[in-house]
Structures are given as structure tokens and as C-alpha cells.
Amino acid sequence: MTEWWKSAVIYQIYPRSFQDSNGDGVGDLKGIQSRLDDLKALGIDAIWISPIFPSPMADFGYDVADYCGIDPRFGSLEDFDALLAAAHERGIKLLLDLVPNHTSDQHPWFLESRSARDDPRRDWYIWRDPKPDGSPPNNWISDFGGSAWEWDEATGQYYYHAFLKDQPDLNWRNPAVRKAMLDVLRFWFARGIDGFRIDVLWHMVKHIDLPDNPANDEWAPGQADYTRVHQLHSTDQPEVHDIAHEMRVIADEYGARVLIGEIYLPVPKLVGYYGTVERPGVHLPFNFQLIGAAWNARSLAKMIADYEGALPVDGWPNWVLGNHDRPRIATRVGAEQARVAMMLLLTLRGTPTLYYGDEIGMADVSIPAHQVQDPRELNEPGIGMGRDPVRTPMAWDASANAGFSPADPWLPLHPDWLERNVEAQRGDPASLWRLTQKLLFLRHEHPALALGDYHPIDAGGDLLAFERRLDHDRLLVVLNLGDTPQGFAIPEWAESFTVLASARGGHDPALLSPNEGYILG
């Protein structure tokens, strides 16, 4: 039997920005539940919800103070159980965002660890003495800028934090930490969730001796501070694969579950996180290549081929166009080409993840300085690392605040929300929402599109073409990634095919208009 997640389309929800049910300007669990029918109508198979655990919100939930509760801003455990049941009633799976690399500095574990050098939980985190001159133990740099070491005056040592100082890293070399965190997986699996997206999986183990990271000789002012060094010793250590395997064993104990690992690494290293047949790792190491790819047909064709060629025999591919950390696809390639990008995401072999709002073409929103919320932007302003622009509220209709909340939203809406909203696009046959719905329908209707093989087809110029095939089900996909018309020689085997979907409503796949794409079958 094929695992459900292989044919599924996963939809990422940033909960603060999806739907507010209580009028405080921040999204919540009851809000998500109220929109499940909208997601069902779109054709979504699974939702992944960014962190909803109790948190001081220094990094908006990625600083966890309790792994087995729900932050009151989002609701309660009872609200979560109701959401989970409602999703399952609609045939929608639910994944949570696990943040195992670090906790909040307000987590009881860290408060105990920080209380004294001889506290039983001292070694649950990474504490080290200063160098003789009082400086940090090594040259490691936080991903949010500045030293990754924070001095603790009371105990006379530094603690390590790969992100904010409010997010101390757990010491995964400590067996007690491992047991406590693996019990968190069991808690939520027993509650009925269908899987986890695992935050910064490749960060979780550090070199045991904590040596300096090598300097990056290509770094220049204006680039992110953490790129001044290569994270050779602070990330991607061999022992992390043992942790991934332990998590996989637990997931497998609960049956049809999935683990998705956030890993920003080159493909040869990325695919290592699948593990081996004997010691499997996560089911899906996130493949972020489309997010940073040069958007042209030839480079994309090579990227897809290289990725397919690098996958282990039993490794299932996956694709992502956007997420809560990176610029939206409509900003990167433009509103018209975003339609072609959606066709690409939903026709490639593998499990696609769709970021909320991309189905209506939401673009990055310019955030006035006085409304900036993201600590990354506040720490390193002006270098383009701020994430607020891609986390703005979802637009549902043309009512006040786009139907997101009766109150002023926590971040501003996109400026064209009166026209760019779900209700308006559901009523427009030519909209991106309707195109996305059509593509999701085709994935459910055609096994070749959901589970079939991928076969590239030679195409010149700005065209990207490929076949999806499973037994007798064959589909042809041809996409124009450029802004000029492109001729395409339809293969003989597809000459009798009809147009199943078009990015712009065209009818002639032998001559593609700019920013056009077709699925033939």
C-alpha cells in the first residue's frame, strides 16, 4: 500500500496569520478549524501548522517553553483536539512543527540548567568556560547575527545559541535530553497527529570538541553575519543521523506517520537524511531548491535531473516553492510567472508543499519600520533577511481586514487584498486559486501525476517539458518560463492528447504564449 504522504499535497499554515477567531488580531486554532472547508474545497490533503506551543514569542513560537501544551494565544489542548478531529473528518491530515534543536530560555529545563553549575540539568544545554581572555569559547556565529555564545554572569560560563540568545541549544549528546525529546514525539503521536516537520534538523548535533569554524573568505559587508564562517563544526554532524533514525523508529511505531526534516544543505548532503534501508532517517528531507533557483528552463531542467539522480533508490522526492522564511514566489518571478511556478510545483514527481497565500498569488509586503516584528530584521536591519513580509495575514474576502480578523491584524495586509482574496478568486474561472484547485483535482484524478515516473523531454528556449507516467496513465507537461512566445513540437505519442489544464487559459500547446503552461492527457 502506498504511503498517504507520497500522493499528498501539504499546505503550510503560519497560525498567527491564517484566521483570527477571537478578535485579537492574531490567528488561532479555532480560526484554522473554521477554514478547513475552504482548504477541502481547494483540494488540500494535509496541513502543517507552524509552532503553536507555549512560548514567550521572542521568535514567534520557535522558542518553546513547553513541548506538550498549546500557547493561550492560539487556544487550548481541547481546541487542538477539536481541530484535529475536524480535519480528520474531512480527510485532511495534520502535521505539527517540532523545534528540537533549542528551547526558550524560559523553559523550565533551561531555568534549572542556568540555576547552578551542579544542577542535574546543567548538561542538558551546551555550557563552556570562557577563553583565558574572557572571550567566547569559539568563533561560532548566531544565525541571527553576533556571537552564538551568551555570557551568564551568575554561573560564570557561556551557553550556546544557534539563533537568538533567548533560544539556548539543547545538548543532544546527553541521553536524558534525547529521551525527554523523543517522549514529546510519542505524546503528540498518541494524541493522533499525522506527522512532524522537524525544525533545523541539521543543526541538532555539534562537533564534540567545539572547534572554530573556518572563515569564509568570500564574505563581504552587507551579507548576513553568520556567513562570515562556514558552519562546518556547528551543523551537519554525523551523529545527527542517529537521532533522525530514532525519530523514524518512533514514527513507524504509530503506523501511517511522516517526518519531514528542515535541512538547508547541498543535495549530496541533503539526501543523506533519508538514511539507509537498514537505518532509515526522515521520510522527506525538505528540498528547497526551487526557492533559490535561477528561474530559467535550462537550469531548472538540470536541477531536477540532478536531484532525481541523487535520490536513494527508496527515497521519495519533494518540492517547495515558498515558506515562512523566504521571499514569496510571486515576488521572485512575478504574478504571471507564479502561475507557471504553481504548475511546476504540482506536476513534478514527489510530495509538494504549498505555502498559505501562494494559491492567491500573495506577494511580499513592505513592512514600515515601526511595524517590524521579526527579531532577525531587528538584529540585522537592511540586509534583506527579515521574514515579516512573507508572514502577513491571509486575505479571505473583501470585508474589513480581508475577513482575517475584526481587529487590526498583527502585521499589515498586502495592498491589493480587496481584489486578491479567496472569495474573489473562487468566483473567477481565470484566477490562480481556480488554477491551483484544478491542478489539485488532476493530482487526485490521475495516478501518473501523483505517483508516476518523471521523464524529461528535450525542449529548447524557455520551455521546460516532461512526461509523468504510471502504467497506462500518461501526461505531458510543458511550461514556458519566459516572456516571449515559444513553439513546441508535441511528441507523436501525445498528439491525440487534450488540454487538461492551462496556466493562462490557452488552447494551443504547440505555440505557448509568454508565461503559459499546459498539462495534456
- The pLDDT-based confidence of 489 (bands split at 50, 70, 90) is very high
CATH number of the domain that residue 466 is part of: 2.60.40.1180
Identify the pLDDT of residue 132. Answer: 97
Alpha-carbon gap, residue 161 to 350, rounded angstroms: 34
The answer to the question of residue 446 being in a domain is: no
pLDDT at 349: 98
Q: Report the Cα 505 to chain-centroid distance in Å.
A: 30
Cα 315 to the chain's mean position, in Å? 19
Show Cβ contacts of residue 220 under 8 Å, excluding neighbours closer than 6 positions.
none
CATH of the domain at 428: 3.20.20.80
Same domain, 236 and 321: yes
Same domain, 12 and 144: no
Domain limit, last residue, from 160, 183, 199: 160
Same domain as 262, residue 399: yes
Listed in sequence order, the residues at least 6 apart from 66 whose beta carbon sits closer than 8 Å to its beta carbon are: 53, 54, 107
Three-state secondary structure of 486-500: EECCCCHHHCCCCEE
Tell whether the model's pLDDT for residue 383 goes beyond 90. Answer: no
| Domain presence at residue 483 | yes
DSSP string, 48-76: EE---S----TTTTSS-S-TTS--TTT--
CA atoms within 13 A on the CB side of 510: 9
Q: State mean pLDDT over 303-330.
A: 97
Q: In this structure, are 91 and 123 located in the same domain? A: no
pLDDT at 219 over 80: yes
Confidence of residue 1 (pLDDT cuts 50, 70, 90): confident
CATH of the domain at 123: 3.90.400.10
Considering the domain architecture, whether residues 426 and 459 belong to the same structural domain is answered as: no
Write phi, then psi, for 273 (nearest 5 degrees): -80, -5
**Structural domain contains residue 169:** no
Q: What is the pLDDT of residue 154?
A: 98
pLDDT band per the 50, 70, 90 thresholds, residue 319: very high
Question: pLDDT confidence of 382, banded at 50, 70, 90?
Answer: confident
Residue 470 sits in the same domain as residue 430: no
* Tens-place pLDDT, residues 167-191: 999 999 999 999 999 999 999 999 9
Residue 445 in any domain: the answer is no
pLDDT of residue 188: 98
Which active-site residues does the annotation give? 199, 253
Confidence of residue 8 (pLDDT cuts 50, 70, 90): very high
- Both 318 and 178 in one domain: the answer is yes
Q: 404 lies in which domain range?
A: 4-103+174-436
Number of domains into which the chain is organized: 3
What burial letters (b/e) apply to 118-146, b meaning 16+ CB within 10 Å? eeebbebbbbeeeeeeeebbbbbbbbbbe
> Which residues make beta-bridge pairs with 469?
453, 474
